[in-house]
Structure 1
Amino acid sequence: MKDSTRKLWERQDAHDGDRARLFHAVAAHVDATTVLYPGSWVDIAASIAWPDVTYVDTDGNAERFFADSAGVDELLVEAGAANRRWRFVPSDYTQPLPLGDGEVDLLLSCYAGFVSEHCTEHLRIGGWLLATASHGDAAMASIDPRYRLVGVVVRNGDRYRVQDEDLERYTVPKTPVVVTKDLLHERGRGVGWTRPAAAYLFQRVG
């Protein structure tokens, strides 16, 4: 393994497996095998939780990281995730990707902008979108008729769990505002919600 590969992963994993714990909580709640992770940078935590992940990013460090495929595999073995299938696509996710329609079970949108606007076609009907709120994609999915909120990920210390009750409480804006695509694009981020969650789990229904 190249030293730079390990250093990049240590930089990404600065919170000692926190993203992996989040993904494991979601993996225990959904029936997913194939995952698409646009804007991933070098976050291979998805491969710790799921067996088949496609990573997408334009960052040069990410491209160099994934080019060391033996090093990435070694990191996954160290994390207890041997024999994972993964690939890296050095691309802007807003442009066409080399995937078919409905090809993946789970779409990850973690601090990478409005992933759902551009990549939903690759998610099968009945599949899931896991989105964070800070860059606006959870809010975008909440007004997208193709999606239905089916769970929120709540955190207690360093533990995560998916909650699927009283979900309406988690999409109430702190201040009166009509959430629209134009508003979200203008802000470039989400809206403040009275009861925030660590992440939001949607199911594709259309």
Structure 2
Amino acid sequence: MKDKTKTLWEKQDQHKGDRWRLFQAVNAALPARHVLYAGSYVDVAPSFVYDDVTYADMDKRAAAFFADNEGVRQIICDHGGNVGGRFVFAHGDYRSLDLEPESFDLLISLYAGFISEPCGHFLRIGGHLLVNSSHGDAALAALDPRFKLKAVVTSANGRYRVTDQNLDGYMVPKKEQTITRESLMKSARGIAYTKSPFAYMFERVL
């Protein structure tokens, strides 16, 4: 493993095992085979859980990280991932990915901007979008007729839980406001909701 690969991963994984626990919880609740992580940077944690992950990011550091194939595979192996699993990195803007439509079971959008809209067509019908409220992408997904809220991911004491109970109590703004695609794109900020889970799980229905 190259020193730079190790350094980048250690910084990414500064809260040891946090993302590993996240994806374990998500997969236990809603299993997936083919995963797309747009705006991944160097977060290779999905490969600790899933056997087939496509990562995409335009950051040059991410490109250098994934170019160290043996080093990345060692990180995956060290965390219990399938040593024979498949991971692919696409270096570029996730808004122009050359991928097969409806070919993924899970689309991940965490802290990387508006991913649900340009990448949503890569999800199969019945597939799921894991998205947090950062940059407003969860709110954007809630407006998108292709998606329906399926569950939320809560976090407490470093443990994650996926639940589909009382979903009507989520995504309720703290203050009365009109939320539109245009307002979200302009502000590029999340909406302040009365309840704030770590992330949301939407199912692609259209």
- Displacement, 1:3? 0.7
Letter in 2 for 1:103: S
- CA distance in structure 2 between the aligned counterparts of 1:98 and 1:9, rounded to whole angstroms: 27
- The match for 1:87 is 88
User: The residue matched to 2:30 in structure 1 has which SS?
Assistant: coil
- The match for 1:170 is 170
Percent of aligned pairs sharing the same letter = 49
Q: Residues 92-151 of structure 1, C-alpha deviation per residue, up to 9 Å, x if partnerless?
A: 0112x1211101000000001110110011110000000011221111111111000010
- Displacement, 1:168? 1.3
- CA distance in structure 2 between the aligned counterparts of 1:69 and 1:47, rounded to whole angstroms: 13
Letter in 1 for 2:186: E
- Displacement, 1:69? 0.1
Task: Note the 1:109-128 alignment, pairs <5 A.
Answer: 109-128=109-128
Task: Note the 1:113-152 alignment, pairs <5 A.
Answer: 113-152=113-152
TM-score by length of structure 1 reads 0.98
- CA distance in structure 2 between the aligned counterparts of 1:19 and 1:181, rounded to whole angstroms: 29
- CA distance in structure 2 between the aligned counterparts of 1:150 and 1:17, rounded to whole angstroms: 25
- CA distance in structure 1 between the aligned counterparts of 2:170 and 2:55, rounded to whole angstroms: 29
Task: Note the 1:41-80 alignment, pairs <5 A.
Answer: 41-80=41-80
- CA distance in structure 2 between the aligned counterparts of 1:176 and 1:192, rounded to whole angstroms: 11
Q: Residues 73-108 of structure 1, C-alpha deviation per residue, up to 9 Å, x if partnerless?
A: 01111111122210000010112x121110100000
User: The residue matched to 2:95 in structure 1 has which SS?
Assistant: coil
Q: Aligned Cα RMSD in Å?
A: 0.8
- CA distance in structure 1 between the aligned counterparts of 2:122 and 2:150, rounded to whole angstroms: 19
- The match for 1:204 is 204
- CA distance in structure 2 between the aligned counterparts of 1:174 and 1:84, rounded to whole angstroms: 43
Letter in 2 for 1:204: R
Gaps of 5+ in 1: none
Letter in 1 for 2:174: K
- The match for 1:179 is 179
Q: Residues 31-61 of structure 1, C-alpha deviation per residue, up to 9 Å, x if partnerless?
A: 3110000100000011112110000001010
- CA distance in structure 2 between the aligned counterparts of 1:31 and 1:9, rounded to whole angstroms: 25
Gaps of 5+ in 2: none
Aligned residue pairs: how many? 205
- The match for 2:195 is 195
Q: Which consecutive aligned stretches of 4+ in structure 1 deviate over 3 angstroms post-superposition?
A: none
- CA distance in structure 1 between the aligned counterparts of 2:12 and 2:154, rounded to whole angstroms: 22
